[in-house]
Amino acid sequence: QVRLVESGGGLVQSGGSLRLSCEAPDWGLDASYEIGWFRQAPGKEREGVACITRYLNNTDYANSVKGRFTISRDNAKNTIYLQMSSLKPEDTAVYYCAAYRPQFSFVHCSRARGPYDIWGQGTQVTVSS
């Protein structure tokens, strides 16, 4: 079964930090995949907050998280991370990781949902004020 599994969510106070992890327990999430982190708050659409390209590991962030969130990958562990710092109540959401294998290698990654065809089940992040 091709799936992703997120972990690391939880309850944290405003200004705190969390590190989310994304793993593929049943298949090889290697460097050939582009990865995105998305979030969905109640009543809102799912938005892309960060992404990382295949091979080059170029990154891109939503303006709302730029300077506070960092996406990274550990190819040896086939794991993707989202380090979140200076968390705010408006960061409260279910966070999802997603992956797809582009046909070509691009300099820029996509924070749009469209290209991604492998998704995790999500992990809840709640930031209290």
What is residue 97's predicted lDDT score, i.e. its pLDDT?
A: 98
Give Cα separations from 5 to 13, 23, 42, 71 (angstroms).
24, 5, 21, 16
Residue with more model confidence, 107 or 105 = 107
Condensed to tens digits (0 to 9), the pLDDT of residues 80-100 reads: 999 999 999 999 999 999 999
Give Cα separations from 81 to 43, 48, 68, 71 (angstroms).
26, 15, 14, 6
What is residue 70's predicted lDDT score, i.e. its pLDDT?
A: 98
- Sorted by sequence, the CB contacts under 8 Å of residue 61 that are 6+ apart come out as 49, 50, 69, 71
- Evaluate if residue 8 carries a pLDDT over 80: yes
Condensed to tens digits (0 to 9), the pLDDT of residues 48-74 reads: 999 999 999 999 999 999 999 999 999
What is residue 25's predicted lDDT score, i.e. its pLDDT?
A: 84
Burial degree of 17 (CB within 10 A; 0-12, 13-18, 19+) = exposed
What is residue 87's predicted lDDT score, i.e. its pLDDT?
A: 98
The residue with tokens 């409260």 is 92
Q: Do 113 and 6 form a contact (C-beta atoms < 8 A)?
A: no
What is residue 33's predicted lDDT score, i.e. its pLDDT?
A: 94
